[in-house]
Amino acid sequence: MLASLFKFKGGVKPASHKDESTRTPIARAPLPPRLVVPLRQSAGGTPRPLVKAGQRVLKGERIGAPEGNFSSAIHAPTSGSVLALESRTLPHPSALPALCVVIEPDGEERWIERAPLDYAAQAPEALRDLLRDAGVVGLGGATFPSHIKLKPGAAGRIETLIVNGAECEPWITCDDLLMRERADGIVRGAALLRHIVDARRVLVGIEDNKPQAIAAMRAVAQSAGIEVAVLPTRYPAGGEKQLIRALTGIEIPYGRLGTEFGVQCFNVGTAYAAQRAIEHGEPLISRIVTLTGNVARPGNHEVLIGTPIDDLLALAAPKADTDRIILGGPMMGFVLPRTDLPVTKAANCILAASPALFPHPGPELPCIRCGACTRACPAELQPHELYWFARAKNFGKAQEYHIFDCIECGCCAYVCPSNIRLVDYYRFAKTSMRALEREKAASDAARQRFEFRTLRSEREQKEKAERLAAKTAAARQALATGGQPTAPPPGDAAPALPPLDESKKALIAAAIARAQAQKAAVQPKNIDNLAPEKQAEIREIEARRAQVREMAKTPPEEPV
């Protein structure tokens, strides 16, 4: 029954601090006075807004339609009225604003009409569309649209489906509590996902520091033909790639989907959300959030998406010496710039930090290349080399040393004896490289536009010259054939020829005069007498200006 385990390299064993928030069952967070629902909560395109300010919405009503295939729908978390459709700051390290739907709940929690389905009777394609329309995305933190992950890949079919209940990051317990209390829903969800991809085997991976969750899952998994594998507790065992490696021995490289290798991984929360979506007809409008750290009342809450973090903090009552609030865990989370930001589908934990609980690391000392980071790196990178390259902004070299394979788990920074915040350097390098990439793409596009324009004007000139040449040739031929043009009927054209010649001369003279006048008017433009290379340069500048005007028209891209 028990799956044989493989090892992944690296990893660290920080104190887990899971007990604080697992003493009480999951509580339902009260309805806040305002909900701010960001439209873009997953990888892929920003959903198209479907509501206007002043409009009334029902609980579970779609307010954002998936834009393109690589996107996921967004729903009203409760019934009420839309106050505004406006740009608000998102809980993201960049603190950049994005389009959000602000809803004032009416307190009635009136649902849309829910249509529970029996998944076994549905085709996989239909179920994938339903999941997309229900807004089901990965709840482990990456919020990757689930329907994309469920598509059969190059390897044919997904042989092994992995359900991730490892929850390796310290302090976070939302998956633990979900498994303890709603194991049945998770297992039914896993069976649903298995049905969609026609997987041969389903494995649930749980770290051995969650015995109650393991027991609860085992109690229901066996009858559904699902195996529960117990993993030794070692961060980041719950990293998708590390978990797949630990359970199947398969290593998924950066930039590839597990599907291509016949294996796919879903968080337990995602499996549960998929089950709610199909078997209950409820779209993803809430999630379990752990409130813990330096608080008086740690615990887990079922929270509507869009609930302001301030409202949740009030439930947990942070202690007086709390100096910062972290979204996510201590390893991969980030310090929130403000706390009036909404909970999104990615928010798994809100951690209050105090200097006593999370001492500020000492000053950064020089890297002595001791190699502790290399031993701890689960992606088997050379973190110290990447650090040097990132510091020197030697991005080409950083890429050569696979900086994009870094999963930003934070193990290297955790073990660094010189207190170097290594992951910050990698994030800096990655975002810089992405920005350069975007700039390059923009300038490439501008160059292509410019080249195309030059090509087009050249072609038009050539065509014009050809037309003119053809016309002249035709006229000459007409004269050569004895003043008998072929096109007009010979009867009335022949006598009219001499006066036409006269008028033609007059016309030509007028045209010459016009052209000269125009040239005189244009002359003040001081670029005509310049060297050809200078003129080319000016043309290039003009093209760039045009590009800038073009860019100003289109809205800036989303932060990655």
Partner 1 sequence: MLKVLAALLPGIAVYVWFFGAAILVQIALASVAALAGEAAMLKLRDQPVGLFLADGSALVTAWLIALTFPPIAPWWLTVSATLFAIVVAKHLYGGLGQNPFNPAMVAFAVAIVSFPALMSQWPAVGFTDFSAQMAVVFKSQSAQDAVTMATPLDALRTQLHVPEARATVAGVLGAHASFGNIGGKGWEWIALAYLAGGLWLLQQRVIAWQVPAAFLATLALIATGFSLGNPERYAGPLFHLVTGGAMLGAFFILTDPVSGATTPRGKLIFGAGAALLTWIIRSFGAYPDGMAFAVLLMNLCVPLIDMGTQPPVFGRKRKDGAP
The footprint of partner 1 (CB under 8 A) covers 8-9, 241, 245, 250-254, 256, 261, 363, 365-371, 374, 378-382, 384-385, 401-402, 405
DSSP character at residue 71:
-
Buried b (16+ CB within 10 A) or exposed e, 179-196: bbbbbbbbbbbbbbbbeb
Least Cβ distance, residue 402 to partner 1 (angstroms): 5
Least Cβ distance, residue 377 to partner 1 (angstroms): 8
The two tokens of residue 208 are: 């051995």
Contact 99, 87 (CB under 8 A): yes
| Alpha-carbon gap, residue 99 to 103, rounded angstroms | 13
* Residue nearer to partner 1 on the CB measure, 230 or 406: 406
Helix axes 183-197, 124-133, angle to 10 degrees: 130
Contact 27, 300 (CB under 8 A): yes
* Residue nearer to partner 1 on the CB measure, 218 or 397: 397
Q: Is the backbone of residue 17 left (phi > 0), alpha (psi -120 to 50) or beta?
A: left
Least Cβ distance, residue 157 to partner 1 (angstroms): 15
* Residue nearer to partner 1 on the CB measure, 369 or 393: 369
* Residue nearer to partner 1 on the CB measure, 391 or 544: 391
The two tokens of residue 98 are: 């994005």
Least Cβ distance, residue 362 to partner 1 (angstroms): 8
Least Cβ distance, residue 226 to partner 1 (angstroms): 23
* Residue nearer to partner 1 on the CB measure, 304 or 415: 415
| Alpha-carbon gap, residue 429 to 426, rounded angstroms | 5
**Total length of the chain:** 560
* Residue nearer to partner 1 on the CB measure, 380 or 528: 380
| Alpha-carbon gap, residue 72 to 488, rounded angstroms | 66
Least Cβ distance, residue 386 to partner 1 (angstroms): 11
Least Cβ distance, residue 71 to partner 1 (angstroms): 27
| Alpha-carbon gap, residue 141 to 61, rounded angstroms | 24
* Residue nearer to partner 1 on the CB measure, 250 or 442: 250
| Alpha-carbon gap, residue 65 to 62, rounded angstroms | 7
Phi, psi of 8 (to 5 degrees): -110, 150
* Residue nearer to partner 1 on the CB measure, 79 or 374: 374
Least Cβ distance, residue 301 to partner 1 (angstroms): 35
DSSP character at residue 342:
B
End-to-end CA distance of the chain: 42
